[in-house]
Amino acid sequence: MRKKITLLIAVCVASTTFSASGCNNEIPRWGENLGKVTFATDSVWTISGNGITQVWSDAVTATACQKPTFNVGSAGNFNADCRSHSGFSGDLFSWCAVVRFADQLCPYPWRIPMMQDFIDLDIAMGGTGNNRDDTPEFVTENYVNRWGGAFGAGYVPSGTLIVQGSWSFWSLSYDGGRVFRLNFSTAGYVGPQSWSMTRYGFTLRCVR
């Protein structure tokens, strides 16, 4: 009985987030299914420090996302969509794709990270867990070399690549129109609690 109650609560929370975020329930822009969903590589990164241990996957990719188009719709009627990220690891997903298809994109025992996972990641690597201007050396040593991150870009519906020279990863954490994400840059900025609007496209990595 306890498992059934827990599952019901989880479903209710997900439904509330889905509804409040303005995501529609239409057929995704990639079609009826995502095709084969995998990680860019089989590599995993175990991060341990300050009493925290996490295991991270590589960036998520799907065969249905191997396309150049990206249409997230408009406020109150956001689509699930994705597109290829040529020259970089993984695909770019709209946040509505992440929240609607979480179990397919990060199948058990993996899961979509929450903002707290990004905070814990930063603390495990010697950071504060707060958004801040750190040093390029800290970013390279930890987020690139130790965690396996890379610098790329995000995507907006207008067709423009944004935040080039930085790297952003979606979380499942949502609050009043803002979706929290991890962001770090070549200049040394570290943002475990960064946020974005749902209309953007960013990379996704899974945690367990």
Tens digits of residue pLDDT in 73-90: 888 899 999 999 877 789
Question: Residue 52, by phi and psi: left (phi above 0), alpha (psi -120 to 50) or beta?
Answer: beta
* Rounded Cα distance, 98 and 77, in Å: 15
* Rounded Cα distance, 108 and 199, in Å: 27
Identify the burial level of 100 via C-beta atoms within 10 angstroms of its C-beta, where 0-12 means exposed, 13-18 middle and 19 or more buried.
buried
The domain total for the chain is 1
Q: Tokens for 171, please give them.
A: 């979380």
Mean pLDDT of the chain: 85
Instruction: Quote the pLDDT of residue 166.
Output: 58
Average pLDDT, stretch 21-49?
Answer: 95
* Rounded Cα distance, 53 and 48, in Å: 4
How many Cβ atoms sit within 10 Å of the Cβ of residue 53? Answer: 11
What range defines the domain where residue 161 resides? 2-207
Lowest mean pLDDT among 52-61, 147-156, 197-206: 147-156
User: Quick one: pLDDT band at residue 160, thresholds 50, 70, 90?
Assistant: low
- Please tell me the number of Cα atoms within 13 Å of 127 on its side-chain side: 28
Q: Tokens for 108, please give them.
A: 């058990």
pLDDT > 70: what percent of the chain?
82
Average pLDDT, stretch 48-63?
Answer: 97
